[in-house]
């Protein structure tokens, strides 16, 4: 009978390149930057790594389709390298592969690395005409801002929230992310903003204005994982272990009939429930210390607070406006700036979220460090659109918690 992966895997080391418009660097440079930090942090030698998972979402633009670019860039010792892609949740998919390999006993030490190098291609996150069943049938004539604007409209209609209610809550979310990002030297955007600037910004897709939307970035993030026993034998203390890792994928329910009202993410609610069960968390609002969610748009963060069963149904706006998710609130959300400001190199974002949890739990987040050491950290990584998506929920925490 399956027992899950709780505490079977420890994070040995992590690294993250600076996110942004890295005009003078290629994807390989970013991969090396993240890997060197992770390797030095782990205290092991490169030849100790026995398998690797490599994530990138739009590979045609930079690295190509196979795992070879990772092996060549890092000069890995002829080990297995598996390239994975799952929309914007690709980084979490790479982490899942490495974690499952260690948890199963297939290898002792595994690597997960995600990268995206898009800025100098002109890619801006708007529609690309690509072939395939999903794109031809459902995404042929759509955009991300347009789809998430519909999420905002559906949520507001369901819960009786006015446009002004929604705009003010979304503005607070964006202002919070910019404040947090200003303290992060690796963030793409480090500029603070105020409510007047957000409310009067150009409209992208009603009610989403310019500051409600994240862009894309160049960047890479990396994790090296092993068993807690091996980590301790290497002298590691204050271990951060994986408590749960769950993935839920849309099966067509949302887009093919009207049982879904468009106001939430079925996948997030499903993955979150499974993750809490695997981690042994019964009251997430009281037990979770930090969260990083997939804030591709400010409304996504708002809705996700309820989908993660932290805010009550229809209550996320009150929690947001009361500062519950601020850096000094009860459960800080996007304490590193999130996708909105740390940045969104698609294949790396899921690993970047875990990187922040890891730093916070080890007391190494510098200016943005939480005063109380977090016990449980949750990351939520979403790929696709509200009506068709893949969602990963990962929970990490202190060993023994």
Give CA separation, 318 vs 89, 236, 323, 324, in Å.
28, 41, 9, 9
Q: Which CATH number fits domain 10-118+218-233: 3.40.50.1370, 3.40.50.2300, 3.40.47.10, 3.55.40.20?
A: 3.40.47.10
Question: Which residues of 51-193 form beta strands (DSSP E)?
Answer: 51-55, 81-84, 110-116
Read off the pTM: 0.95
| Percent helix, strand and coil across the chain, each to the nearest 5 | 40, 20, 40
Q: Which CATH number fits domain 142-212+240-398: 3.20.20.100, 1.10.10.10, 3.40.47.10, 3.90.480.10?
A: 3.40.47.10
For the chain, the structural domain boundaries read: 10-118+218-233, 142-212+240-398
pLDDT in the model for residue 1 = 73
Which residues face 81 on adjacent strands? 52
- Tokens 């918690």, located at residue: 401
- Mean of the per-residue pLDDT values for the chain? 93
pLDDT in the model for residue 140 = 55
pLDDT in the model for residue 141 = 62
- The residues assigned a catalytic role are 88, 344
Encode burial over 273-292: b for 16+ CB neighbours within 10 A, e otherwise. bbbbebbebeebeebbbbbb
* Tens-digit pLDDT string for the chain (401 aa): 788 999 999 999 999 999 999 999 999 999 999 999 999 999 999 999 999 999 998 877 788 889 999 999 999 999 999 999 999 999 999 999 999 999 999 999 999 999 999 888 776 655 444 444 444 444 556 788 899 999 999 999 999 999 999 999 999 999 999 999 999 999 999 999 999 999 999 999 999 999 999 989 999 999 999 999 999 999 998 999 999 999 999 999 998 888 999 999 999 999 999 999 999 999 999 999 999 999 999 999 999 999 999 999 999 999 999 999 999 999 999 999 999 999 999 999 999 999 999 999 999 999 999 988 899 999 999 999 999 999 999 999 999 88
């Amino acid at each position: 009978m399956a027992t899950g992966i709780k505490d079977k895997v420890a994070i040995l080391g992590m690294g993250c390149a600076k996110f942004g418009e890295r005009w003078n660097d290629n994807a390989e440079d970013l991969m090396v930057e993240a890997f060197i930090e992770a390797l030095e942090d782990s205290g092991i030698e490169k030849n100790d790594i026995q398998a690797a998972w490599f994530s990138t979402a739009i590979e045609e633009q930079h690295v190509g389709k196979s795992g070879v670019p990772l092996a060549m860039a890092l000069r890995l010792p002829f080990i297995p390298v598996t390239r994975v892609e799952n929309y914007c949740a690709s980084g979490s998919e790479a982490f899942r592969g490495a974690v499952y390999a260690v948890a199963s006993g297939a290898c002792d030490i595994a690597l997960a690395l995600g990268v995206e190098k898009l800025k100098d291609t002109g890619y801006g996150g708007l529609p690309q005409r690509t072939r395939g069943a999903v794109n031809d049938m459902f995404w042929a004539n759509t955009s991300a801002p347009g789809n998430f604007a519909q999420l905002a409209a559906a949520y507001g209609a369901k819960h009786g929230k006015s446009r002004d209610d929604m705009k003010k809550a979304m503005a607070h979310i964006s202002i919070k992310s910019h404040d947090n990002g200003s303290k992060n030297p690796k963030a793409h955007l480090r500029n603070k903003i105020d409510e007047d600037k957000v409310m009067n910004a150009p409209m992208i897709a009603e009610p989403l204005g310019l500051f409600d939307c994240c862009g894309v970035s160049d960047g890479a993030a990396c994790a090296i994982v092993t068993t807690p026993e091996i980590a301790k034998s290497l002298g590691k203390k204050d271990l951060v272990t994986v408590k749960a890792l769950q993935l839920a994928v849309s099966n067509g329910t949302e887009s093919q009939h009207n049982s879904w009202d468009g106001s939430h993410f079925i996948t997030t609610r499903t993955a979150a429930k499974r993750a809490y069960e695997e981690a042994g968390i019964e009251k997430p609002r009281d037990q979770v210390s930090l969260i990083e969610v997939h804030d591709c748009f400010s409304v996504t963060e708002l809705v996700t607070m309820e989908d993660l069963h932290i805010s009550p149904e229809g209550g996320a706006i009150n929690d947001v406006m009361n500062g519950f998710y601020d850096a000094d609130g009860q459960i800080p959300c996007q304490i590193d700036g999130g996708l909105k400001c740390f940045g969104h190199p698609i294949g790396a974002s899921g690993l970047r979220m875990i990187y922040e949890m890891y730093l916070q739990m080890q007391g190494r987040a510098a200016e943005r460090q939480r005063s109380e050491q977090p016990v449980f950290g949750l990351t939520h990584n979403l790929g696709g659109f509200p009506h068709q998506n893949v969602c990963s929920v990962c929970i990490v925490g202190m060993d023994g918690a």
